[in-house]
Amino acid sequence: MIAMRYLTLVWPGLPWLWLRGSVAGLVLAVAFAVSLDVALTTTFIWPDLVELPVTLAIWSAVAVVWLASTASALATFPPALARPPAAEVDPLFARARDAYLARDWIRAETRLRELLVISPTDGEAQLLLGTLLRRVGRLPEAREAFRKLSASDAGSRWQDAIELELARLDGVSPAAAADDAVAGWVAGDGTDAPPRAAA
């Protein structure tokens, strides 16, 4: 896997584009592609279009851009996202889940946000946070949480649950969601149980 990360150094801008989704990386990658296309076109397709010194200057510019961007990328190569050990994350999720089931929304949200600082790619924690936000009537935040999860790699295994939650959001007004949260807390029903199995 580490070797695959370093293969992104072959194309200028790709380390930042592929590993971090950087717009600057996209601009650099596209600019390099255009300059390389111009160099290839003036060399092999229409060699009579420009004089030989101009073609050499274009190739020199391509080489300088490639060397400079590769050296820059090596110096500031984006580190891999650290994955915290399960021994650190699982107890925190268990406390968040227990607070959620006890309808202690503030403590559950606090624990989930702590967990997502430690492990931002934890799909189950993101799903539970979105569900919690929906339950307490914070619908725009819940919708954003579900859309963010749906767009991430961590959300691929939760697509059915995300679609269900978004459908619930489309059919619920903020006042009804707040009433639902209060009614669920008073009745103590077990709806919307979090996804991760009990520890």
The residue among 55, 75, 95 that closes a domain is 75
CATH code at position 98: 1.25.40.10
Total-model pTM: 0.52
* 49 within domain boundaries: yes
The answer to whether the CB of 122 falls within 8 A of the CB of 130 is no
pLDDT at 80: 63
Range of the domain at 49: 2-75
**At which of 75, 105, 120 does a domain end?**
75
CA dihedral 166, 174, 179, 112 (to 10 degrees): 60
Mean pLDDT by 10 residues, the chain (199 residues): 75 83 87 93 91 93 91 75 73 94 95 90 91 93 92 84 89 56 46 49
Residues 54 and 102 in one domain: no
